[in-house]
Amino acid sequence: MPVPDALVPDALVAGPPSSGPLPSDGAVPPSRPRNGTGTHPLDNAVRAALLGPHAHLAERQGQVLRYPADVSPFIALPEHSDESVWRDVATLLGPGTVAVVTGVRSTPPPDWEVLMDGGGVQLVDEGVAAAPDAEAVPLGYADVPEMLDLVARTQPGPFLPRTVELGSYLGIRRGGRLVAMAGERLHPPGWTEISAVCTDAEHRGEGLATRLVHAVAAGIRARGETPFLHAAASNTNAIRLYESLGFRLRRDTNFLAVRVPGTPTG
């Protein structure tokens, strides 16, 4: 089943396999085999974030964690999920709710609607030319209506009214109008995902997205953390772009979006 752009993490929207920043000599520690199991924070990045720096946002039922519904559609499953885990998902989310899972392979019960089941890639910073940008301005709650409008026009991936709480966001304006932005999403210990990278159609080709990725990466590095990102495996143009910016492929991953059975209440 193809992966809808509206659900896939864009730059997931987007670091070397260690629990901290790159060593001073720039060497990259060896990665574990793709699609294997392990305990690295990026192996199950949503869970690592909700048990770590994003714990203040976590809602929990049994072994399942989630972000608030107006922050992010991602839920965190344990490495091995059985029917009891999916019952916890249903209890936590409620009937008719859509949830997105990445990083672990798990099969929902047969009566759950699968909206998306597609391959993705996880890329990590290996020499990104991170640098602040004088034209990039911080974005906050007052800018959310403009951010939602830009996302609606460009479809970089999930962005909701409180997504801005996940980290720092930067934007570039033209004539006072927001025309490009990028920011931070998942935050496993020692790592921060670059996400919501998007540019208005009228301003594509001006290098704004590249500048914003560099600027967001600079802020992440300033905290002693390492940038990473995700993309749909089918989005080869985006993958080539990120590789040209200094990201490298760490592992293959997957995106699964499902709908809890039943009719929404309320």
Strands 98-102 and 226-232: unpaired
- pLDDT of the residue at 92: 98
Summarize pLDDT for 66-108 with one digit per residue, the tens.
999 999 999 999 998 899 999 999 999 999 999 999 999 899 9
- pLDDT of the residue at 14: 30
| Structure tokens, 127 | 């020499």
- pLDDT of the residue at 91: 97
pLDDT > 70: percent of the chain: 85
- pLDDT of the residue at 264: 82
Summarize pLDDT for 130-184 with one digit per residue, the tens.
999 999 999 999 999 999 999 999 999 899 999 999 999 999 999 999 999 999 9
pTM exceeding the 0.75 threshold for the entire prediction: yes
pLDDT-derived band at 10, boundaries 50, 70, 90: low
Which residues, 6+ apart, have CB-to-CB distance to 83 below 8 Å?
A: 109
Summarize pLDDT for 18-63 with one digit per residue, the tens.
222 222 233 333 333 333 345 899 999 999 999 999 999 999 999 9
Backbone CA torsion sign across 104, 109, 113, 117: positive
- pLDDT of the residue at 192: 98
Q: What is the DSSP string of 120-177?
A: EEEEEESS------TT-EEE-GGGHHHHHHHHHHH--S---TTGGGGS-EEEEEETTE
H or E stretch including 102? strand 98-102
Identify the structural domains of the chain with CATH numbers, from first to last.
45-259 (3.40.630.30)
CA 91 – CA 106 distance, rounded (Å): 17
- pLDDT of the residue at 265: 72
Beta bridge partners of 63: none
Q: Are 253 and 122 in contact (CB under 8 A)?
A: yes
Q: Are 12 and 103 in contact (CB under 8 A)?
A: no
Is the predicted pLDDT of residue 248 greater than 60, yes or no? yes
Beta bridge partners of 21: none
Q: What is the DSSP string of 172-237?
A: EEETTEEEEEEEE----TTEEEEEEEEE-GGGTTSSHHHHHHHHHHHHHHHTT-EEEEEEETT-HH
Give the CB-side neighbour count of residue 23, counting CA atoms within 13 A.
8
CA 231 – CA 188 distance, rounded (Å): 17
- pLDDT of the residue at 39: 82
CA 36 – CA 11 distance, rounded (Å): 23
